[in-house]
Amino acid sequence: MKRTSFAHWPCSIARTMDLLGDWWTPLVLREVSYGIQRFDALQESLGIARNTLSDRLRRLVDEGLLEKQPYQTDPVRYDYVPTEKGRDFYTVLLAMNRWGDRWLSGEAGPPVTHYHDVCGQESHAKVVCAACGEPMTVENAHPRLGPGYPPHLARRPEIRARFED
């Protein structure tokens, strides 16, 4: 079954999901962010099929989230190291982790917590306005058409109505 591509949709969430493609990709990025960067260690940690892991790593390298750095020459073996684009995805993982901790952890509590090296405290992700620092919620924020929204779609009345103030 062929899946629909969202790569060219005028929505950053849809484009991100198109890149992620499935549940394995964010888990691979999580493990790499946690410092597990060798193929065999990733395969063992995730319990993922080797061919599936190969596909996900290839895509993440092709999309510029990871880069291959050789650590052995005979045979050649690689570490998969996050690029700037890959390191930036860590904030997405933190936000997902926070949501899961709040709604899916159960009585035992969160399975993993995060420590902020800068202030020395255990912490969690919090989405705040970059301009004023106040929390952004569904109650106090809304989407607007951005400069990258296709003009031919932006002219449609049902689209304009969805994004009006």
- Cα dist from 34 to 7, 41, 81, 94, 157, whole Å: 28, 12, 11, 12, 46
Residue 25 · residue 42 · CB < 8 Å? no
Domain with CATH 1.10.10.10 in the chain: 12-87
Burial of 86 (0-12, 13-18, 19+ CB in 10 A): buried
Q: Would you tell me which CATH number, out of the four given (3.30.990.10, 1.10.10.10, 3.50.50.60, 3.40.605.10), belongs to the domain 12-87?
A: 1.10.10.10
**Tally of CB atoms within 10 A around 32:** 24
Least reliable range by pLDDT among 27-31, 71-75, 95-99, 158-162: 158-162
pLDDT in tens, 63-97: 999 999 999 999 999 999 999 999 999 999 999 99
Whole-prediction pTM: 0.88
Q: Which of 96, 98, 63 is nearest to 82 (CA)?
A: 63
Query: According to the model, what pLDDT value does residue 165 have?
Result: 63
Amino acid letter for position 43: Q
- Tens digits of residue pLDDT in 108-130: 999 999 999 999 999 999 999 99
